[in-house]
Structure 1
Amino acid sequence: MTEAESDRWLAADPGRAELLPEGPAAGGARLHAAVRDGVRVGHLWTGSRDLPTGERVPYVWEVAVAEGERRKGHGRALMRFAEDLVRAAGGDRLALRVDPDNTAARALYASLGYRLLSTDHEKTLC
């Protein structure tokens, strides 16, 4: 992504800015854009994260495909790209988190061989 694109991406979600107070490239984070025929169809945010075990692993923070471009293989291509980045750096693991209600994403990750590590639970207290 260009600097202007990454600035817009960061500003679009306050949670991103909270996780990246020094900007999108801080701490090894990287933003990648998927482009088809000169048009951006999706993006990938990679970096690393500490698992609950304390182990630091390569991590997919976000993968997104434009609504009109879904179910065309872009998400799969972005995930394969992320895997290739990890392999090129000498790694052999990649982790991510997905919303339990996102059945399409869960099916994609399962088809790529990802397995469930844990399930978070939450309760809203009134």
Structure 2
Amino acid sequence: MTDPPVALRPLDVTELGAFVELVISSYAGERASAVDAGTADALRNARSQVEVLLPQGLATPDHHLYSVLEGNAVVGHLWIGMTSVDGFRSAFVYELHLREDARGRGLGRRVMALAEEAARGLGARDIELHVFAQNTRARRLYESLGYRITSLSMRKRLD
């Protein structure tokens, strides 16, 4: 039996609100855990960051939001932003989210291949992303795909 095809399609405007709330909730939860922050503060921080990054929603220049399709079913989302800060075009994966029932079946690997293809099509020389240190599952996936650590943030709690 073959796996259903996996594809990206541009996020529809009717999906934007739910996507934004998912990104905010996901990022806030991971950040709160990583830095031992309060949930309300992490949510406020996440909402602020998303508002800055996507001031025009789907029309924000250089930001590309996709639904991840497995066959005809939406099983996740992908957000890629383009930058030129180092003298060349680079893609940044702001969000890759798969539904819980879509995880552990190789979809993340397939979606990252699609993300790299999309980034090349947008003129990127490189693709990069951020992953919280405690997200070992994601870190293992990205390392197995050839991503390397380019910087580390470290924190110490001063009690």
TM-score range, shorter chain: 0.7 to 0.9
- Give the whole-Å Cα distance in 1 for the aligned partners of 2:112 and 2:17: 23
Give the match's secondary structure for 1:24: helix
Of residues 54, 61, 64 in structure 1, which corresponds to 2:97?
64
Where do 4+ consecutive residues of structure 1 move more than 4 Å? 123-126
Task: Give the superposed CA RMSD.
Answer: 2.0
Residue ranges of structure 1 left out of the alignment (5+ in a row): none
Q: Which moved more, 1:40-49 or 1:96-105?
A: 40-49
The 1:28/1:116 distance shift into structure 2, 3 A limit, reads same
Q: Offset at 1:91?
A: 2.7
The one-letter amino acid of 1:6's match is L
For residues 26-84 of structure 1, the C-alpha deviation after alignment (integer angstroms, 9 at most, x for no partner) is: 1211111111242211111001247xxx5262110110111111011211111111111
1:93 aligns with 2:103: no
TM-score by structure 2 length? 0.68
1:23 aligns with 2:57: yes
The one-letter amino acid of 1:114's match is Y
Q: Give the helix-richer structure, 1 or 2.
A: 2
Aligned residue pairs total 123
Q: Which moved more, 1:12-21 or 1:105-114?
A: 12-21
The one-letter amino acid of 1:95's match is E
1:44 aligns with 2:78: yes
Q: Offset at 1:125?
A: 5.8
8 Å contact kept, 1:10–1:24: no
- Give the whole-Å Cα distance in 2 for the aligned partners of 1:49 and 1:94: 10
Higher RCO, 1 vs 2 (CA within 8 Å, ≥6 residues apart): 2
Residue ranges of structure 2 left out of the alignment (5+ in a row): 1-10, 25-46
For residues 72-111 of structure 1, the C-alpha deviation after alignment (integer angstroms, 9 at most, x for no partner) is: 1211111111111122234331011101110010000011
The 1:38/1:19 distance shift into structure 2, 3 A limit, reads same
Of residues 101, 104, 114 in structure 1, which corresponds to 2:137?
104
- Give the whole-Å Cα distance in 2 for the aligned partners of 1:112 and 1:2: 29
TM-score by structure 1 length? 0.84
1:2 aligns with 2:22: no
The 1:124/1:16 distance shift into structure 2, 3 A limit, reads farther
- Give the whole-Å Cα distance in 2 for the aligned partners of 1:36 and 1:87: 22
- Give the whole-Å Cα distance in 1 for the aligned partners of 2:101 and 2:117: 26
The 1:25/1:72 distance shift into structure 2, 3 A limit, reads farther
